[in-house]
Amino acid sequence: MMESSIFAILTILLICSSLFFLLIIVLASLGKSLGLRRKYIQILLKVFEFGRRRIDSYVECKKHGEPDELEASDSSNEVIENESKNEEEHHLIERDISLSAFEGIKFSAVDFNGLDFKKEFHISDIIYFAKCGIEAVIEDDVTKCFTGAELKYWNLLTRTDKGYHFVSWRLTVLYCIGCFVRYCILLPFRVTLCTLGIGCLVISTTLIGYLKDGDFKRSMNERMTLMSSRILCRAVSGVVNFHNSENRAKNGICVANHTSPIDVILLSGDNCYAMVGQSHGGFLGIIMRAMARATSHIWFERSEVKDRHLVAKRMREHVEDTNKLPVLIFPEGTCVNNTSVMMFKKGGFEVSKTVYPVAIKYDPRFSDAYWNSSKMGLVRHVFDIMTSWALVVDVWYLPPMSKKDNEDAVQFANRVKSEIARRGGLVELDWDGQLKRMQAKESWKSKSQEDYSKILKVD
């Protein structure tokens, strides 16, 4: 009797799960949603606000020496007190980014070509360089772009835990419930959806590859790609707010800032793109070959990647064919932590005179979408995303931008970068994102020395 009851319960759960996943597939194919994810986000915001009030109340009690009514443990008290002290000390250290003179030294603030004086070397001149070095240690513009953005308030995630879950027994209960929901309910559900979405993408593109080239093949590829991407978006509880959809790229080149490989999935859930990248083996290679059968993508062999002329030629041929999908590229060449936009490579801006900019901005309260590829693999990154609360992101389609007559590719890329940074509320930087993996060029290091030598130079 007991075994039959268990079997009946399992059968009911299996049927309900199958119907639920079938409903998701139908909704994804139609581009519709029941609104459950947005309701889920609203509930999370209320939970975060409750946690913020409890933490603020605890901090105020400690400041005024009042009895701690929140029942915090001694260990958590020490952790939070030290954190508050560190925050106060941090505000005492401010980086002086001005180029004010030191003992008559003005580096970038003056035009050295017009100087008609010379300055003798003094041992005290080295203090300026020491000052610049200390400022760089305090706040490095490059390094901080490749670390996770800090949150002002705790979002109840394990990896952002700083002892706050011991502040109050209510927060402790919420923290434990949150861990159970994320790891025991959402994670299996998301893994199943991810497997379903990848399987749908591989099987559908493989079958579409056997169709003859034409409008029907293109239409089927767009439908199945959109459906697969939307399923994968649901696998990470993605809530994407698309703005100005009338500016979506129909062909040509679409450029966007880059935070995570998930960017491709989120953008592909609203518009179909052709991808550019290096050919891979293994499971990723299977996906790439299946996608290439259904439509034109630009995959390069390892030996071809360094041949810029070959890459530009293939991209130009693709862009000039109006029947092909728009090419999606990330000119930064690496992932940046959702706070800044770094230097855009000029390659894509040499191929086409018109590009379609896209600005992407994640909400860090629900998850850290940044992929630090130098510290973690792709599987670990996807696992962190799937065990987070959700992915909430705003995507702005900017009006197409064209190269001006007096612009070169570098100036055009910088102008597009500035517009993306402005619309996404990101900090615009001129540094090359590859500094994450390589050493700074010697010419950059010697720039200050050259400026200083101009002061000492005798005509």
Residue 457 has pLDDT above 70, yes or no: no
Average pLDDT over residues 125-151: 71
> Strand 401-402 vs strand 354-362: parallel, antiparallel, or unpaired?
antiparallel
As a whole number of angstroms, the distance between CA 323 and CA 336 comes to 33
Residue 181: DSSP 8-state: I
As a whole number of angstroms, the distance between CA 174 and CA 185 comes to 15
pLDDT of amino acid 56? 79
- pLDDT tens-digit map of 75-126: 444 444 454 444 444 444 455 544 444 444 444 434 444 444 445 666 766 7
Residue 281 has pLDDT above 90, yes or no: no
Most confident of 112-116, 162-166, 209-213, 266-270: 266-270
As a whole number of angstroms, the distance between CA 157 and CA 387 comes to 9
Contact 135, 95 (CB under 8 A): yes
User: And the tokens for 51?
Assistant: 């946690």
- pLDDT tens-digit map of 364-385: 989 888 988 878 888 889 999 9
pLDDT of amino acid 92? 41
- Helix H or strand E encompassing 427: strand 427-428
Residue 166: DSSP 8-state: G
As a whole number of angstroms, the distance between CA 50 and CA 55 comes to 9
As a whole number of angstroms, the distance between CA 430 and CA 312 comes to 24
pLDDT of amino acid 10? 81
Contact 431, 142 (CB under 8 A): yes
What number of other Cβ atoms are within 10 A of residue 351's Cβ?
Answer: 23
- In the chain, where the domains are located: 192-436
Tell me the average pLDDT of the chain: 79
- pLDDT tens-digit map of 15-30: 887 887 788 778 877 7
pLDDT of amino acid 385? 92
End-to-end CA distance of the chain: 103
Amino acid at residue number 398: L
* pTM of the complete model: 0.80
Amino acid at residue number 253: I
Contact 423, 396 (CB under 8 A): yes
User: And the tokens for 71?
Assistant: 């029942």
As a whole number of angstroms, the distance between CA 262 and CA 416 comes to 22
Q: CA 424, 222, 253: angle at the middle one, nearest 5?
A: 45
Q: Is 361 exposed, middle or buried (0-12, 13-18, 19+ CB in 10 A)?
A: buried
State the number of CA atoms in the 13 A half-sphere of 381 facing the CB: 17
